Amino acid sequence: MNLKKNIFNAITIILLAALIAGAVLLNNRIKKLETQMSYTSDNTSVILSDVQTMQDDIKSTLEEEASLITDWDISLKSADFTDMTYTVSVSVVPKEYTEDTKTSVFFGTNEIPLELNGIKYTGEATLPLSEDYAGNVTFLFVDGNKRSTEVLDEFEGVTSVFKNVASGILADKPTFDNGSIKLGTDVDVAVMGNDYFDFNSVQLVVASSDTELKTYDIRQLLAENGTDSADSADIDSITSALSRKDDAKKDGSKNDTENDTSDASKEDDGKLHSLEGTVKIEDLIPVTAASNIKIYVKAVSAQGYTFTYDLFDGTVNQDITDFETIADISGGDYTVADPAGSKYEP
């Protein structure tokens, strides 16, 4: 009996060992297969990515070869807010043309003939401000009986240069102190040239009706700390820490300014194209009863356009102790004035 039992135990142990060995081998094979599958999947992803890149390159090459145009440009030249129009300069260089080729550009259905100047066909178009013609511009080339057209699908319009040029946030509304409004607040200011404008001045203005009571030169406040404006193509890519505290008294009023965050600007050619920063304004400004007080950012461009963005609008009460009414301008009231003074709200 003992012999049979020992033989049975030995066989059982051998079978268990074989099962364990088989399980280990199976697990190793599974891991090896998983590794191979992962490697295959990675290779497949690389191949698919390469194929997509090749397809994109081929598509781009075919589109370029199929294009009738070597180069083109449509740029804003001026705007007239009285007539609600803007003028653009247009130029195009076709791949093939002769002196007899007639060329024109269509803005929607409005055809503008172009003249050959050197290797370019050039001209101007005056268009309504209500239309930017994004994706709706077509060049027409006529050579004898042959007519060819090309639509500028990538044209995004030019009127967007007037949008969001000036903006700001007033942290706290003014309070009152002995017949004067009292400023003691942080002011965030941002001015962007949109790759078109450069600016002669950027100011924070406190006004009563149409009369400016006090102006603060934002650019100067940021620059007076001994830190030059930084050069950049993107105002969000630079932060320059600036701090200043200056106490001064003039005509019995307190006029303190402190820049306590950052200035970001683009001045790579000596002109101010953009500016962003926060300043602290502390001041007392005498006002009269029932006067309408506005606080706004004002940016004057070298091109003659004036951009304003309202931060506060309130009417003083009869006792000059508070505001009788405060306008809701949480979204900002933004306007642009052309060189003739006509206003436009993009």
pLDDT of residue 21: 75
Domain stop point among 66, 91, 120: 66
| Separation of alpha carbons 204 and 181, rounded Å | 15
19 and 153: one domain?
no
| Separation of alpha carbons 115 and 198, rounded Å | 31
In total, how many domains does the chain have?
3
198 and 329: one domain?
yes
234 and 212: one domain?
yes
CATH number of the CATH domain containing 112: 2.60.40.2450
| Separation of alpha carbons 112 and 140, rounded Å | 10
**232: pLDDT confidence band, cut at 50, 70 and 90?**
very low
Across the range 173-202, mean pLDDT stands at: 94
Give me the percent of the chain exceeding a pLDDT of 70: 75
Domain that holds residue 93: 69-161
Across the range 324-330, mean pLDDT stands at: 89
**188: pLDDT confidence band, cut at 50, 70 and 90?**
very high
192 and 318: one domain?
yes
180 and 306: one domain?
yes
| Separation of alpha carbons 257 and 189, rounded Å | 14
290 and 192: one domain?
yes
142 and 22: one domain?
no
210 and 75: one domain?
no
Q: Note the pLDDT tens digit of each residue in 94-139.
A: 999 888 899 999 999 999 999 999 999 999 999 999 998 998 999 9
Joined together, the tokens standing for residue 304 give 């003659």
pLDDT greater than 60 at residue 89: yes
78 and 205: one domain?
no
174 and 238: one domain?
yes
27 contacts: CB under 8 Å, gap ≥ 6: none
* pTM (two decimals): 0.68
Angle at 137 between CA 133 and CA 141, to 5 degrees: 160
CA dihedral for 39, 42, 44, 47, sign (positive or negative)? negative
59 and 90: one domain?
no
155 and 42: one domain?
no
Q: Note the pLDDT tens digit of each residue in 243-279.
A: 222 333 334 344 444 454 444 555 556 689 999 999 9
